[in-house]
Structure 1
Amino acid sequence: MAVVERIQRLFDEIPVRGTLHAVDLADGREVALGADEQVVIASIFKIVLVLEFCRQVHAGQLDPTERVLIRAADRLGGWGTAGCADDLEISLRDLAYFAMSVSDNTAADLLLHRIGRDTPALLAAELGLDRTRVLGGPRQLLESMLADVGARDSAEFAAIYPTLTREQVAGMRVFQPEHTTASTARDITRLLTMIWQDTAGTPAACAATRDLLRHQMFWTRIAAGFPDEVRVASKTGTLPGLHMEAGVVEYPDGGRYALAIFARTDELGARRIDVDLAMSRASRLAVDALRAEAPQPN
């Protein structure tokens, strides 16, 4: 059975609607399933954000040690600094670290404010990511969610959300690729390929971005499909019913494979270990296929 059919059967068993693109960085061979379908990318957007931050740092436009004060009004909820009870001061480079390592939305929003709200969209265009649309950052995403349900603040949203029907939730703009930050699996692997091949910026900026991607703490999706000696540098994205991850798998023998995988369920939960592990198995199937078909040296 062809690997794409095996991956589709894996998705069907959950069931999820999945798209995937995997590419061998050495020669461009690929495994593709719905790779050109427009999808919501949620926090995977932070790869573009942090890449632009690293570009500005290594161009001398930003001092990475510049301090930022995070106050209560800056907190957007979620992991990292958003959970702090008190104001705290942090450097720009540590904002980038938290945005990538634990997908800190507050850190990402403040970093976006510092590098310029429009620069991630401009960077995507510069890199030729024609199917990628960046509409603001975490704060804009939250504001659209509040507006769509008529909530004045996050506390009111938390009270309203459980009362919504599945159809009402699905109608929110954050779940619709045409109305929120979106891309395709192929565009995302192209971005990763450029970062790993030092063509998304200076070699120093690309190396710094790779290093930050290697600090992600979440491992139940792509990384769970590979043994410990295989290094995975990646970024997750999650919304109710949407599970996604993009990254590069690096083998000790030098093999490197960019992956982008997106799964959408009818159930609107965010904690679906069965979905995560199906994503890990699909990722391993795709990479194993690329490795099995790799040209042999003469």
Structure 2
Amino acid sequence: MSTRTATEDRIRRIFAEAGARGQLHAVPVRAGTPAAGGVDGGRGGREVAVGADDAVVIASLFKMLLVLEFARQVVAGQLDPRERVRVTSADRLGGWGTAGCLDDVELSLRDLAYFAMSVSDNSAADLLLHRVGLDTVRLLAKELGLERTRVVGGPRDLLESMLEEVGARDEREFAARYPALSDEGKRRLTVLDPRRTTASTPREITRLLRLVWTDAAGPPEACALVRDLMSKQVFRHRLVSGFPDGVAVAAKTGTLPGLHMEAGVARFPDGECYAIAVFARTHDLSASRATVDAAIGRAAGMAAAYLRGDGR
């Protein structure tokens, strides 16, 4: 058995022990600048792939594409990043950032991008998507060669589909009705089915990361903004947990019932960078999030160690 196969088997076991099924793709970033028409698996094809070409729900990971398109439009002079936006009660979706504020908030487009990336603010992402344009985000995915990446809408669209399927008028009613659903009923929700919702593959997500980290996803200033905002994400319980001090991780997380995911780039002190996308679907929808989150970190750390030739 090859070292790579052994590593991939160990990663599968890590997720199985956490009560989940995991999918992962990890590749070196600086193995040559990825071209728009195709990206190889890594240095000499070096990669770690566990279900890397299977379709996965990407939830809030789509915000990487959204903010990239925003940054490109800013650099092109199509948008003023200082343009003011008011987040009202009609825009609030609940959760982090402006999505959970009790009062109206006014901020700039670039601060919407900051909140969308740093705390995965859904209201900020919705308003930014409205300004940037859903069709342009879809076109960007195609331009970057992300042929299996699909964006069906913003966070509000996904929330409204959940409310409709559960028969709830608002979030409060949804919170009351959702726990009464059977696990099978929960799994039938559109937002959890990669065939019907915003989705991609682990390999295409690492492709996006490599394009951004090598300034091949747009103007260097636009790519730099995305990298900077990803470095400011406040959540440190998934990918970051799998790396020692001194390794800088810039990432974007995503979460839905029974789905835990994160994608990002780990930069080691020697300057080497690795793009990693990890997705976990729990067998039991009440499984401990902490256990699954820790498994995501362990799997990511193990994949990077293999890519670095550490023999683990």
Give the 5 Å matches for 1:125-136: 125-136=142-153
Q: How far is 1:117 from its partner? A: 2.1
Cross-structure match for 2:76: 59
Contact kept, 8 Å, 2:93 with 2:100, in 1: the verdict is no
Judge conservation of contact 1:118–1:136 (CA < 8 Å) in 2.
no
Distance change >3 Å, CA 57–CA 270, structure 1 → 2 = farther
SS at match of 1:252: coil
Please state how far the C-alpha of 1:267 moved relative to its aligned partner: 2.2
**Superposition deviation, residue 184 in structure 1:** 0.4
SS at match of 2:233: coil
Question: What letter matches 1:212 in structure 2?
Answer: L
Compute the TM-score of the two structures, normalised by the length of structure 1: 0.96
- 2:266 and 2:94 map into 1 onto residues whose CA distance is 30
Report the equivalent of 1:111: 128
Q: 1:117 to 1:270 in 2, by over 3 A?
A: farther
Structure 1's 126 and 270: CA in aligned 2 closer, same or farther, altered over 3 A?
A: farther
1:244 to 261, 281, 287: 261
Partner Cα distance (1:130, 1:249) in 2: 25
Residue 13 of structure 2 corresponds to 9
8 Å contact from structure 1 (residues 242, 270) kept in 2: no
1:73 to 86, 90, 94: 90
**Do the aligned residues in 2 keep the contact of 1:247 with 1:258 (CA within 8 Å)?**
yes
Aligned letter for 2:14?
Answer: L
| Cα distance in 2, alignment partners of residues 193 and 292 from structure 1 | 20
Q: Does the 8 Å contact 2:19/2:287 carry over to 1? A: no
In structure 2, the residue matched to 1:198 is: 215
Per the alignment, residue 102 of structure 2 pairs with 85
Whichever residue aligns with residue 137 of structure 1, its letter is G
Q: Distance in 2 between matches of 1:254 and 1:166?
A: 44
Name the CA distance, whole Å, in 1 between partners of 2:215 and 2:145.
Answer: 15
> Which of 40, 45, 48 is equivalent to 2:62?
45
Q: 2:52 is paired with a residue of what secondary structure?
A: coil
2:25 to 21, 42, 56: 21
Indicate if the aligned counterparts of 1:234 and 1:247 stay in contact, CA closer than 8 A: yes
Q: Any unmatched runs of 5+ in structure 1?
A: none
Deviations 1:52-88 (A, max 9, x none): 0100111100000100011100001111112211111
Distance 2:286 2:272 in 1: 35
Cα offset for 1:37? Answer: 0.4
> Which consecutive unaligned segments of at least 5 residues does structure 2 have?
32-41
Q: Counterpart of 1:31?
A: 48
Q: CA deviation at 1:270?
A: 7.8
Partner deviation per Cα, 1:13-65 (whole Å, 9 max, x = no partner): 12211000000112212110100000100001100011001001111000001
Aligned partners of 1:133 and 1:270: how far apart in 2? 28
How far 1:99 moved relative to its partner? 0.4
- Alignment-derived partner of residue 145 in structure 1: 162
**Relative to structure 2, which stretch is displaced further, 261-270 or 89-98?**
261-270
Q: Which amino acid in 1 is paired with 2:24? A: L
Task: Give the whole-Å Cα distance in 1 for the aligned partners of 2:137 and 2:288.
Answer: 29
Assess if the C-alpha contact under 8 Å between 2:30 and 2:214 holds in 1: no
Instruction: Please say which of residues 266-275 and 42-51 is displaced more in the overlay.
Output: 266-275
Equivalent of residue 165 in structure 1, options 154, 165, 182: 182
Q: Is the 1:240–1:270 Cα contact (8 Å) retained in structure 2?
A: no
The runs of at least 4 consecutive aligned structure 1 residues that moved more than 4 Å come to none
Paired residue secondary structure (1:178): coil
